[in-house]
Structure formats: C-alpha cells, structure tokens
Structure 1
Amino acid sequence: MTTNTLIDLPEMRLFAAVVTDGSFTAAADRLGTDKARVSRIVRRMEEKLGAQLLTRSTRHLSVTEVGRDYFERAMCILTAAEAAQASVAQQSREPKGLIKITAGAEFGTMVVDEWIAAFLRQSPKVTVEAEYTSRLVDIIHEGFDIAIRVGTLDDSGLSARKLGDMVFGLYAAPDYLNSAPPLSTVSDLKHHDLIMIKARGRSNWNLVNGSDTERITASPRCAVNSTISARNLAFAGLGIAQLPRFMAEPYLTEGTLQRVLPDWADAPAPVHAVFASSRYMDPKVRSFIDLILSTFKCGDCSSQRMRDQPVQIAA
C-alpha cells in the first residue's frame, strides 16, 4: 500500500481535538460537526498513514503509542502554522499607535524629519515622538522603538537594518576660491584655509580616492563640532569644509558653494535603523523602515527623484 504523507492541517487539527477532548463526540461539538464525520476522518487518516492512531471500544477511546507520537508532532506543526499566520497578520495590519524614534541631532533635523513627515502622511493612525540627541540612547530601557544611527555600529545585541551610506565631499564658497591659491591636487590643501569638525580633541581628514588615501592634519582655520556650523562658515567664504553631500549639493545650483577635488572625500558612513528585534517587529516600525528604503534614494535627501537608484544618502 502506498502511504500518502501529504500534510493536511485540518485533519491534524481534528485529530488533536479528539485526543485533547477524549472522545469523538466532544471533538465534534467543539469543531461544529458531527461524530460520524470525525470518526470517518480519523479512520481515513489511519489508512493514509498505515498505522492505528486510536483504540476504540463502545465505552472507551485511547491513544496508541504511534498515535501519541503523531499527536505531539502534529501539535508542534499546528503551533508553528498558527504562529506563521499570526506573524503575517501582524505585518499586514494597518500601522497605528505611537512610535518613538531617536537620532543624532543634526541628522534628525535635516533628514529624519522628512522621513517622519512622509510616514505620518502615509499612516494617519500613527503618532510619532522623536528625540534628537548626541548621546547614545539605550532604546530598550528608554522605551524607543527605533534609532537611526550614522557610522559603524557597536555590538549591542540589537537588530539593525542598513538604510544606506552617507557620502561626503569637499566644498567652498566661490568668493573664497577666487582669492585662494590654486587647488588641483590633494597636496594643495596644505596651502588653504580649512574648516574641520573637531572630534575627541582632534581635527583631521582621512580622504579616500579609490585605493589611495591621504591624511590631512593641517591646523584648520576653524574647528567646530557641527557640520551645520562648518557649512555656514564655508558659506561665509572662510575656507574649505568637508560636508555630507546631501547637505551641500542643493547649494551647488544656487552658486553658493562649489565642490573641489571631487575625487577625494572621507569614506562613506553607513546609516542604520536599530531596533529591538527583527523577529517580532511592530507593524509601524516595519512600515517606517520600508518607507525609508523605498523613498530615500537620492542625493539631496528628497524622496521625489531617482527612485530607481541604489539606496544611499548622497548623490
């Protein structure tokens, strides 16, 4: 006899009800059917499996050793199937409720605000609470759903999804360049006024051009701890600043800034969404991340152009 081993979840569920309730009658009542149908299905299962699952008498029903083993395995399968259905249902639910987001102060103000605005327009039943700060937020203990982090991630045990790369460039105002020494190679930077970000007491650039690297350690004309300040000082014609391209590119068409040494810049910085768990992700968190991945794909952080380009936070 050929054994049909195709899994039939309704049959498994019916057999589990018989074993759990202890009789065909009780199982039939729970499942909203009749005793004869339940008995017929169990008998058909035994024929397909080629094994006796239940021992029947006029007054007693017992589970065979094979039936007990089948029952335990069937319960595992049914539990996994129910969990899969619940997971899909959770992901497909309309996002609603509060989502708490944290990000760095500058990146949050200049980029994450746009993501939040698009997300709220898309999800009318969601509210957002955002905190932008320079400190590293403990999202678990402080109750945040998601953190947007720029740079290499520490091994925190949290889940993360890479959103793209923040790409940099060197920029200066036309007024500065018109009166400054010639600038055609990276070595010429030592003759120029530089505006640098000061981190941990030091200010320098590690510029990359393909496989070539140059460390620029010249004393800057001005050292600041804010890329917005560096951009503002570059606007004022005080020197060359290294800026995220999303921050500077819009000013090229206005003529406020010019890009210099276009082949040279700091290495791209990865941008991640960090959250507690990817296995049981809240629908609103998943929806927020999906929106970022589907819309944030262009050089000036606008979500309206270049939708088919690779995801990156730069041109």
Structure 2
Amino acid sequence: MKVFAAVVTDGSFTAAAERLGTDKARISRIVRRMEEKLGARLLTRSTRRLSVTEVGRDYFERAVSILTAAEAAEAAVAQQSREPKGLLKITAGSEFGPMVVDKWIAAFLRVAPKVTVEVEYTNRLVDIIHEGFDVAIRVGTLEDSGLSARKLGEVVYGLYASVDYLEEKPAPSAVSDLKRHDLIMKTTRGRANWSLINSSQTEKIAVPPRCAVNSMIAAKNLVLEGLGIAQLPRFMAEPYVTDGVLSPVLPEWAEIPAPVHAVFASSRYMDPKVRSFVDLCVSMFSDNGMHAR
C-alpha cells in the first residue's frame, strides 16, 4: 500500500524507488502482486507515461487515509512511551503561580529527573506559541485562541473575616448587611465590586470598600489584620479557618467559581514532558482544597 501510494504521488516507478530506497524492478513487482490480489488494474502503463485507473484512484485515496491514520497512531504511542526530558517552559498568574503552581512544579521535578523547568509568573496574557512556552496555567474563562486546553478544576470563593473583627462587629446575617461593614475588595479593571451568587439569586455589592487592592494576597493579609471582610479563594482561607484565625461569613454567598485550565499548543502531538505535567496538575488539583473537574 505504501509502495503504491508512492508510485501515484511521484508519478513513476523510478521516482518511487528513489523515495523508498529500493529499485524500480521491486516496485513494479509489488504493484503487480497487488493488482493480482485485488483482481483489478490500478495503473495503466505505457512506454511514455504511467496513469492511474479510476479504481486505482479510489484505492489510492483510501490507502493514503489508512497510512496517515497508522502513522498518527504510531506517533502517539511513541510519544506516550518516551520518558519526559528536556526543558519545560511554564507560565501562570503572578498570584496563582506562587500559591499553587509552585507545588505542582516541585512534585513534577521529583518524578521527572530528566526535566528542567523555566517558569514565568505574570498577569499579562502570554502568547505561548510566539514566546516559546510549553504550557500556561490560566484562571478564568478562556478566550478563543485556537490553542488546546484541559480543564484542571475550579477555584471556589467565599467571604471571610477575622475572629477579632467579628468580635467588634457582629457577623452579617444577610447580604444587605455588608453595606454596614468594612469591606476589602480586589479590584477588577479598576472597579471594586462583588457579584455574589446563591443558587439562582444574584446580588451586586458596589459600596465603596474600606480598602481596594489589586492582589488577593494583599486582601488576605488585610483580613488577617482584622480590618474587614474579604472574598478569598477557599484554598487560601481555609487553613486559617482551621487554625481559628478566620471565620466564614455568609457561607452560602460567593462569586461564581473560576475555571482553571492548562493551555498548550496541541493535544494531538503533546511532548511527553507536557503531557506528564498536565496529568500531574489534574491529579494534584483537589489536594489544594479546590474543586477538581
């Protein structure tokens, strides 16, 4: 089948023989045996030219499809069986990276001794193709970029205040009570507000905050200082709840969970080091107190 496809593609037995590293006579014998086996003439030969019959053209198109699928299957198996090695370039957000991705990288380096990692944590949208990154970890809704992505899970949020703060100001019992509290809000595109969801109910909190910050880590630090109520990722806040430092506020209300994806160039021909790292991210995701897929 491969020989016949080469003859049709190159237009002659001689050219096909050169492509396949053999001789013209062997190519001719193989095609003749194919015709005998199939009981049909695939090629019309003359001293001047070689042409493909109608049956031969149909066989050629099917053969190319089969050969392409076989090569893809072999490549996929070869890639999956290769040991991860080489440089893995990763990018993630400047906050999510140090808080979560660092742990994933550490775990990956322990199980992939032949891999080295180069990581950039930034809040800009990195063009992973043109900037040479293998994988990006992105929090939030993905733009339609033509890249491949695998959902790792979701970041779930909640409202929290310090135990000291709640001793001075009674905990709110309704969303409307938040207007009478000191709020610490993370700004989004210069706007400080919350869109809180409870099942099918939605409440927008747009009162001026006591403090507006552009960092979730800063919001956490100010909450720990007893300066107000903040909306934090649960994986960030829950350890302090366990220690008795923070307390959940209006636990049924929070922002919509934010999806987390690993983004990479192609899911069809993934480098073993990329595939292995993404698989590890999926397996470790829920270990950080987040919701897996």
The reply to whether TM is greater than 0.5 is yes
Asked if structure 1 preserves the Cα contact closer than 8 Å seen for 2:128 and 2:134, the reply is yes
How far does residue 259 in structure 1 lie from its aligned partner after superposition?
Answer: 0.8
SS at match of 1:249: helix
1:311 and 2:292 matched: yes
3-state DSSP of counterpart to 1:141: coil
Given candidates 49, 53, 60, the residue that maps to 1:65 is: 53
SS in structure 1 of the partner of residue 212 of structure 2: strand
Percent same amino acid among aligned pairs?
A: 68
Q: Indicate the residue corresponding to 1:236 in structure 2.
A: 225
Tell me the residue number matched to 2:184: 195
Instruction: Give the letter aligned to residue 154 of structure 1.
Output: E
Tell me the distance in 1 between the aligned counterparts of 2:188 and 2:154. 20
Q: Give the secondary-structure state (helix, strand or coil) at the position aligned to 2:286.
A: coil
With normalisation by structure 1, the TM-score equals 0.79
- Give runs of aligned pairs for residues 1-315 of structure 1, distance below 5 A: 12-13=1-2, 22=13, 43=33, 45-46=34-35, 48-53=37-42, 65=53, 68-69=56-57, 70-71=59-60, 73-298=62-287, 300=289, 311=292
- Evaluate the alpha carbon distance shift between residue 155 and residue 82 of structure 1 in structure 2; reply closer, same or farther with a 3 A threshold: closer
**In the aligned structure 1, how far is the partner of 2:52 from the partner of 2:180?**
90
- Shift of the 40–207 alpha-carbon distance from structure 1 to 2, 3 Å rule, reads closer
Structure 1 segments unaligned to the other structure (5+ residues): 1-11, 57-61, 302-309
Call closer, same or farther: CA 1:186–1:17 in 2, change over 3 Å.
closer
Shift of the alpha carbon at 1:181? 3.0
Contact 2:44 2:53 in 1 (8 A): no
1:193 maps to amino acid: D
SS at match of 1:155: coil
Q: CA RMSD in A?
A: 3.1
Give the paired residue count.
285
d(CA) in 2 for partners of 1:102 and 1:295?
Answer: 18
Query: In 2, Cα distance between the equivalents of 1:274 and 1:182?
Result: 40
Q: Which moved more, 1:247-256 or 1:82-91?
A: 82-91
Structure 1 residue 68: deviation in Å? 4.3
Whole-angstrom CA distance in 2 between matches of 1:126 and 1:40: 46
Could you say if the C-alpha distance between residues 215 and 16 of structure 1 is closer, same or farther in structure 2, counting changes exceeding 3 Å? closer
Query: TM-score normalised to the size of structure 2?
Result: 0.84
Letter in 2 for 1:311: A
Q: Which has the higher contact order (CA 8 A, sep 6+)?
A: 2
Structure 2: gaps spanning 5 or more residues: none
1:79 and 1:129, CA in 2 relative to 1: closer, same or farther beyond 3 A?
same
Which deviations, in whole Å up to 9, do the C-alpha atoms of 1:21-73 show, x marking residues without a partner? 849xx89x978xxx7xx969954x445523244789xxxxx787367433564
Aligned equivalents of 2:148 and 2:5: distance in 1? 37
Look up the equivalent residue of 2:192 and give its one-letter code. Answer: S
The one-character-per-residue Cα deviations of 1:60-90 (angstroms, maximum 9, x if unpaired) are xx78736743356434432431232123212
Report the Cα offset of residue 249 of structure 1.
Answer: 0.9
Q: Report the secondary structure of 1:105's partner residue.
A: coil
Structure 1 residues 72 and 292: CA distance shift in structure 2, 3 A:
same
Between 1:79-88 and 1:231-240, the stretch displaced more is 79-88
